């Protein structure tokens, strides 16, 4: 059958329908622009299909199983063991994904956004070519937004086949529960998934090349997670490199090295999570004169415009942090700029980051070390969840809230948390930084009792040595 050719005309083409692309497209339509979205795989991108949403669904299920197993401390007796029906769990997760991606399709329809399926590449200024299963479509347009996201990094000796060696994608759709799981990479993806598998019954070992888990995370926060890994029986091998593996019967022998000493680990499944790289190859960037920098990102200005006229880049393509909510915000900015808002700019005070380990970690703004490096006279306040009435009633008391502030101005510079539901608490801290709040503003805000957010209020009071429910060490 001969390949068909088609031509379309629109105002804006958005390449990629992930959390950056679909948000950008909807905002463009709201601002009166005619939009075509090109997506080669699934609407919703990595985040909704094989990332943020499915991983959090599995993590929630694993946490529920663990809570049920430990409910005896609250006087709730569970007869027999708590079993996981893996097929049913994966099907439940898939149902959530289908509901959300279907919702985006309806939003596109409601906003008059057209979707073209296929692989897109720039073919010169104002021209996009899309290769689909039925042929090639050429789209003429005024502006292009690149929102093609990123993919897992593959390391030598551990090629992804989603059978013997999982990427995060394979780990989110298991057909069996591995008895012994090796996680290569002690960053947030590896630990989130590793803890989930430990909770549902796998014997988990983590191999990390650096000297600590969660590289780049505040050391005090990471230490709380490290202690919980140990309690949970997760083995962590630091400053260790994974070299390769060989089949041994129905299992695998993985060769690892630390300080020049080699050893082998026998496991049933390998999960490699050593980071992600932007997707910009085969995009035709050369046809408009755009190049990736040495780190693989595209240089953009405050409006997310590249060096090429009328070509914008958002999300993982546009640099760190590679987070879905950052991509969405950039999509809103780019849409405003395309619609003619000359004041549109990506200029957040800080971007919150959340790690869904157990306990969770959440952070926004400067760490104590970063603040000092920038010349601030720093003061810090901490409040432990062990002193929180709400945390005690939930039997989840590990962790703390830490506030970093400028001692002279009292302005909040950063808030860092580890503990129960801190992924929800960090929004208050993000707002505080964005509005330029002082420590006194947080301390004087009446927080409902008994709730976890009271820990933020108490940490603010602790900055000035006045926490009510915690006697801080004398300075």
42 and 63 share one domain? yes
15 & 145 share domain:
yes
Is the domain of 408 the same as that of 389? Answer: yes
Residue 473 lies in a domain: no
CATH code for the domain in which residue 97 is found: 3.50.50.60
Return the CA Rg of the chain.
Answer: 24
Same domain membership, residue 174 and residue 148: no
121 and 62 share a domain?
Answer: yes
Looking at the structure, tell me whether residues 282 and 263 fall in a common domain: no
> Does some domain include residue 449?
yes
| Domain presence at residue 125 | yes
Segments forming the whole domain that contains residue 432: 353-463
Domain closes at, from 237, 254, 274 = 274
Are the CB atoms for 405 and 463 separated by under 8 Å? yes
Task: Tell me if 31 sits within 8 A of 339, measured CB to CB.
Answer: yes
Same structural domain for residues 34 and 126?
yes
pLDDT digits (tens), the chain, 475 positions: 456 789 999 999 999 999 999 999 999 999 999 999 999 999 999 999 999 999 999 999 999 999 999 999 999 999 888 999 999 999 999 999 999 999 999 999 999 999 999 999 999 999 999 999 989 999 999 999 999 999 999 999 999 999 999 999 999 999 999 999 999 999 999 999 999 999 999 999 999 999 999 999 999 999 999 999 999 999 999 999 999 999 999 899 999 999 999 999 999 999 999 999 999 999 999 999 999 998 899 999 999 999 999 999 999 999 999 999 999 999 999 999 999 999 999 999 999 999 999 999 999 999 999 999 999 999 999 999 999 999 999 999 999 999 999 999 999 999 999 999 999 999 999 999 999 999 999 999 999 999 999 999 999 999 999 999 998 765 5
**Which one of 274, 297, 328 terminates a domain?**
274
User: Does 247 share its domain with 282?
Assistant: no
Contact status, residue 288 vs residue 311, Cβ threshold 8 Å: yes
Q: Which two tokens stand for residue 93?
A: 């997760």
Choice among 70, 310, 416, 449 that is catalytic:
449
**Residues 262 and 324 both lie in one domain:** no
What local confidence, expressed as pLDDT, does residue 238 receive? 98
Q: Is 464 a catalytic residue?
A: no
**Residue 5: predicted pLDDT:** 87
Cα separation, 342 vs 351, whole angstroms: 23
Q: Is residue 470 part of a domain?
A: no
- Domain-located, residue 218: yes
Identify whether residues 141 and 282 lie together within a single domain: yes
Rounded CA separation 122/91 (Å): 37
Residue 366 domain-assigned?
Answer: yes
The verdict on 129 and 19 lying in the same domain is yes
Into how many domains does the chain fold? 3
pLDDT tens-digit readout, 244-303: 999 999 899 999 999 999 999 999 999 999 999 999 999 999 999 999 998 899 999 999
Which pLDDT score is estimated for 67?
95
Domain assignment of residue 468, yes or no: no
My answer on whether 214 and 288 are in the same domain is no
- Residues with Cβ < 8 Å from 121, sequence gap 6 or more? 128, 129, 282, 283, 284, 287
471 occurs within a structural domain? no
Closest CA to 141 of 54, 216, 246, 33: 33
SS3 of residue 216 by DSSP: coil
Place of tokens 């976890």: 452
């Amino acid at each position: 059958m001969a390949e068909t050719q088609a031509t379309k005309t629109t105002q804006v083409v958005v390449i990629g329908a992930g959390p950056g692309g679909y948000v950008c497209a909807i905002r463009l339509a709201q601002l009166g622009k005619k939009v075509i979205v090109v997506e080669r795989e699934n609407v919703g991108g990595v985040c909704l299909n094989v990332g943020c949403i499915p991983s959090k669904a599995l993590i929630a299920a694993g946490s529920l199983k663990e809570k049920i197993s430990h409910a005896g401390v609250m006087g709730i007796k569970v007869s027999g063991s708590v079993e996981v029906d893996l097929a049913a769990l994966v099907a439940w997760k898939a149902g959530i994904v289908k509901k959300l991606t279907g919702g985006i399709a309806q939003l596109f329809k409601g906003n008059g956004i057209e979707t073209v399926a296929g692989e897109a590449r720039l073919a010169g200024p104002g021209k996009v070519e899309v290769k689909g299963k039925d042929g090639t479509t050429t789209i003429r347009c005024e502006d292009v937004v690149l929102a093609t996201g990123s993919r897992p990094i593959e390391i030598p000796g551990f090629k992804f086949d989603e059978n013997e060696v999982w990427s995060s994608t394979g780990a989110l759709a298991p057909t069996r529960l591995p008895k012994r799981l090796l996680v290569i990479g002690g960053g947030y993806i590896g630990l989130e998934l590793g803890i989930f598998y430990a909770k549902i019954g796998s014997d988990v070992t983590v191999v990390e090349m650096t000297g600590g888990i969660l590289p780049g995370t505040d050391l005090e926060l990471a230490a709380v997670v490290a202690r919980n890994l140990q309690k949970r029986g997760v083995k962590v091998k630091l400053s260790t490199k994974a070299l390769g593996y060989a089949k041994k019967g129905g299992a695998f022998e993985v060769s690892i090295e630390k300080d020049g000493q080699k050893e082998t680990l026998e496991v049933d499944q390998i999960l490699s999570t050593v980071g992600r790289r932007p997707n910009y190859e085969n995009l035709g960037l050369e046809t408009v004169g755009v190049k990736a920098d040495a780190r693989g990102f595209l240089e953009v200005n405050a409006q997310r415009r590249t060096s090429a006229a009328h070509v914008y880049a958002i999300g993982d393509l546009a640099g760190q942090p590679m987070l879905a909510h950052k991509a969405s915000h950039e999509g809103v900015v780019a849409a405003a700029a395309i619609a003619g808002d000359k004041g549109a700019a990506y200029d957040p005070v800080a971007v919150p980051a959340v790690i869904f380990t157990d306990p969770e970690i959440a952070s926004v703004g400067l760490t104590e070390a970063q603040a000092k490096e920038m010349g601030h006279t720093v003061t810090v306040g901490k409040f432990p969840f062990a002193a929180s009435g709400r945390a005690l009633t939930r039997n989840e008391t590990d962790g703390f809230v830490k506030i970093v502030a400028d001692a002279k101005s009292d302005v909040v510079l950063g808030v860092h948390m580890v503990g129960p539901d801190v992924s929800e608490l960090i929004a208050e801290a993000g707002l505080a930084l964005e509005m330029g709040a002082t420590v006194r503003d947080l301390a004087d805000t009446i927080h409902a009792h008994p709730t976890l957010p009271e820990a933020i209020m108490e940490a603010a009071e602790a900055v000035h040595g006045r926490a009510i429910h915690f006697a801080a060490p004398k300075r």
